[in-house]
């Protein structure tokens, strides 16, 4: 008999409510899997078996649900996953993250099959920076170097001089210390980098992450009063008023590592709560509190796009080798250069 957990996982209809929005703008993503679809009782064992059969590697971001993280060969932040993708020696990459991450893996692995369990797993930052508008933006700033956060499309990467992630953005901007620099597409990360790198002149594309932007600075201040010994750990995609209250600002890997090593026993965490899984595994005795959203119904600590991937969809992706990520070759070749430069400089 399968365990109750395993039986639960064999549902045929998967609905995910958006964690990014307050009730007023609630979105609802639903992917229906055919009612005729049959899933094995032990889905996790079947996924492991398919991984072997397909000669596949499973790369997962920290924002994936814990079952997926536990199945993954590599769990990491955007930089670690790009590095892992650069070193793959398997035929297939099953990427459990969002589209731009899987696309980056494909850019690095043109001859390998890259599948993303749900093709709708996008990102508000990538979607908020359309290639044609970004091309016009660059044209308005001749001579500027373009540093793009990895949360952007392959087309935007292809227009960039250097890619960065939240863990190396300051260093990447410092690489162009003698040039004007366009930084896209996250205005909050840009402001954080401008301060850290002493580059108030950064030319910024005004995009934002719809998840991190919804943490409430006011409610956080009230929470800190209730937990005076707690440390606040925040992702740089949060608004400045949230970052101003943080004891530590860093990428998802940075947040996890800091949570493990700090002597603080209570941590308020302003990022997606997928990171809690890794922290709990290492320091189960610590109290982890989700940073509050802008109203009580706001579950800002769930990325609705990341959470579109499920073990069921991962099983189908490995079984059918789709949905497959494809990148036009001319775009891929151009986008590869700034990604490889980042990996070399990091
Ligand atoms: P990391 O670079 O920390 O993995 O962040 C990716 C991301 O999408 C944060 O919202
Ligand atoms: Fe994009 Fe924000 Fe989701 Fe990260 S948390 S993938 S930046 S929408």
User: In which order are the strands placed within the sheet that holds 56-61?
Assistant: 74-76, 56-61, 92-96, 113-115
Q: How confident is the model at residue 265 (pLDDT cuts 50, 70, 90)?
A: very high
Phi, psi values for residue 85, rounded to 5°: -65, -30
Which residue's CA is the nearest one to ligand 1's atom 8?
A: 151
Domain with 86, as residue range(s), is: 4-122+305-320
Identify the pLDDT of residue 162: 99
Q: Does 81 contact ligand 2 (Cβ within 6 A)?
A: no
Note the pLDDT tens digit of each residue in 22-56: 322 333 344 557 778 889 999 999 999 999 999 99
Ligand 2 mutation pick, 187, 237, 308, max ligand atoms within 8 A of CB: 237
Q: What are the helix (H) ranges across 180-267?
A: 187-196, 217-226, 240-243, 252-261
Indicate whether 24 and 109 sit together in one domain.
yes
What is the CA(194)–ligand 1 centre distance, in A?
18
Closest ligand 2 atom to 123 CA: 1
Indicate whether 187 and 264 sit together in one domain.
no
What is the CA(34)–ligand 1 centre distance, in A?
32
Q: What is the CATH number of the domain that holds 32?
A: 3.40.50.10800
Please say whether the dihedral angle defined by the alpha carbons of residues 109, 127, 65 and 318, taken in this order, is positive or negative.
Answer: negative
Residue 299 within a domain: no
Q: Does 98 contact ligand 2 (Cβ within 6 A)?
A: yes
Residue 296 within a domain: no
Q: How confident is the model at residue 298 (pLDDT cuts 50, 70, 90)?
A: low
**What are the DSSP E strand ranges found in the chain?**
13-17, 28-32, 56-61, 74-76, 92-96, 113-115, 145-149, 162-164, 181-184, 203-204, 231-234, 248-249, 266-270, 287-290
Indicate whether 64 and 157 sit together in one domain.
no
The C-alpha angle with vertex 144 and arms to 138 and 150, in degrees rounded to 5, equals 70
Note the pLDDT tens digit of each residue in 129-151: 999 999 999 999 999 999 999 99
Indicate whether 168 and 261 sit together in one domain.
no
Indicate whether 116 and 143 sit together in one domain.
no
Identify the pLDDT of residue 300: 65
Q: Does 166 contact ligand 1 (Cβ within 6 A)?
A: yes
Which residue's CA is the nearest one to ligand 1's atom 6?
A: 78
In this prediction the pTM is 0.90
Q: Does 210 contact ligand 1 (Cβ within 6 A)?
A: no
Residue 300 within a domain: no
Q: Does 20 contact ligand 1 (Cβ within 6 A)?
A: no
Indicate whether 86 and 164 sit together in one domain.
no
What is the CA(122)–ligand 2 centre distance, in A?
8
For residue 271 the two structure tokens come to 């990022």
Residue 173 above 60 pLDDT?
yes
Indicate whether 142 and 83 sit together in one domain.
no
Identify the pLDDT of residue 301: 87
Residue 17 within a domain: yes
Residue 104 within a domain: yes
Q: How far is CA 260 from CA 64, 167, 255, 263, 279, in A?
A: 19, 17, 9, 8, 6
Read off the pLDDT of each residue in 325-341 and give the average, rounded to a whole number: 98
For residue 184 the two structure tokens come to 């896209």
Indicate whether 174 and 197 sit together in one domain.
yes
Residue 270 within a domain: yes
Residue 9 above 50 pLDDT?
no
């Amino acid at each position: 008999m399968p365990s109750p957990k395993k039986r639960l996982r064999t549902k045929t209809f998967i609905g995910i409510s958006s964690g990014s929005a307050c009730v007023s703008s609630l979105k609802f993503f639903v992917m229906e899997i055919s009612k005729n679809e049959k899933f094995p009782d032990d889905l996790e064992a079947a996924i492991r078996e398919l991984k072997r059969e397909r000669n596949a590697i499973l790369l997962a971001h920290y924002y994936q649900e814990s079952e997926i993280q536990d199945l993954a060969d590599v769990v990491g932040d955007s930089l670690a996953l790009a590095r892992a993708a650069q070193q793959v020696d398997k035929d297939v990459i099953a990427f459990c993250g969002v589209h731009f991450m899987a696309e980056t893996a494909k850019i690095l692995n043109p001859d390998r099959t890259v599948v993303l369990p749900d093709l709708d797993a996008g990102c508000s930052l990538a979607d908020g920076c359309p290639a044609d508008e970004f091309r016009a933006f660059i044209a308005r700033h001749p001579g500027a170097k373009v540093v793009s956060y990895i949360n952007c499309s392959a087309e935007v990467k292809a227009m960039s001089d250097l890619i960065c992630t939240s863990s190396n953005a300051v260093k990447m901007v410092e690489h162009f210390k003698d040039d004007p620099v366009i930084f896209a597409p996250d205005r909050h990360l840009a402001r954080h980098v401008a301060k850290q790198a002493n580059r108030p002149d950064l030319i910024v594309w005004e995009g934002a992450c719809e998840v991190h932007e919804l943490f409430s600075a006011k409610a956080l201040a009230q929470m800190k009063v209730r937990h005076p010994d707690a440390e606040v750990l925040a992702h740089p995609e949060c608004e400045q008023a949230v970052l101003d209250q943080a004891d530590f600002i860093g990428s998802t890997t940075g947040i996890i590592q800091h949570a493990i090593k700090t002597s603080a026993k209570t941590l308020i965490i302003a990022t997606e709560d997928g990171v809690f899984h890794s922290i709990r595994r290492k320091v189960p005795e610590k109290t982890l509190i989700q940073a509050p959203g802008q109203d009580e119904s706001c579950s800002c600590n769930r990325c609705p796009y990341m959470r579109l991937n499920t073990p069921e969809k991962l099983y189908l992706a490995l079984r059918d080798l789709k949905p497959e990520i494809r990148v036009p070759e001319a775009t891929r070749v151009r986008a590869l250069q700034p990604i490889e430069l980042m990996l070399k400089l990091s």
